[in-house]
Amino acid sequence: MANRSFLSRVVSRINRSPEQVRPRALTLIYGRAVRFAGMAGVKVEFLSHSRAVLSLRNRKRVQNHLGTIHAAAVGLLAESASGLVVGMHVPDSRVVVLKTLHLDFLKRVSGNLKATASLAQAQIDQIQTQERGEVVVVVQLTDDKGLAPAQCEAVWSWAPKVRATRAEQLRNLASQRSA
């Protein structure tokens, strides 16, 4: 991969460390970068170039009035898993943005929750070669019983990071006309 992202470079370094240290290191870095996820207690179990596995324990700070994981926390976990796996491939010269997060709740979450997001090689190639675009990431959510309490699909889009301000655009237009 010629133009690796900052996230990809950091994860590659961490993944060279002993296996038992990786989840803690990945979680610490992610929790500091995305403070809301860190506060909620999102744990990065595994992260590679094609797959992300994150988990969330059913603790008081993420519970709803029923004592199960709150819908917003389920969304946070799904967004985090899909965003990490997409972020591994978006070059630093581009910005990645969540465009749509679609969650269908099927049943109550039983205990803790795990989110797994994966990208196919065709999706990875698309992210790395297109200057702007979007990709659909399906996130599998499973609870302690091994059941899927929700179905999730995230649409991530990316575009060049640097964009001329309106004043710069007008100056460029004026200079083109005078030339």
Residue 24 has pLDDT above 90, yes or no: yes
Rg (CA), the chain: 19
d(CA 75, CA 54): 12
> What does the longest C-alpha to C-alpha distance in the chain come to?
70
For the segment 70-82, the average pLDDT, to the nearest whole number, is 97
Whose CA is closest to 130, among 177, 90, 170?
90
Computed over every residue of the chain, the mean pLDDT equals 92
d(CA 49, CA 84): 9
Query: What is the model's pTM?
Result: 0.86
Residue 2 has pLDDT above 60, yes or no: no
- Choose the CATH number for 6-178 among 3.20.20.70, 3.40.50.2020, 3.10.129.10, 3.40.50.300: 3.10.129.10
- 87 contacts 138 by C-beta, under 8 angstroms: no
For the segment 128-150, the average pLDDT, to the nearest whole number, is 96
For the segment 56-82, the average pLDDT, to the nearest whole number, is 96
- Take residue 11 and report the two structure tokens written for it: 């994860």
The secondary structure element, H or E, covering residue 82 is helix 71-87
Residue 163 has pLDDT above 70, yes or no: no
- Take residue 134 and report the two structure tokens written for it: 């979007």
d(CA 7, CA 11): 6
Lowest mean pLDDT among 63-67, 79-83, 100-104: 63-67
Question: For residue 60, what pLDDT band results from cuts at 50, 70 and 90?
Answer: very high
**DSSP-based three-state secondary structure for 51:** strand
Q: What is the pLDDT of residue 1?
A: 45
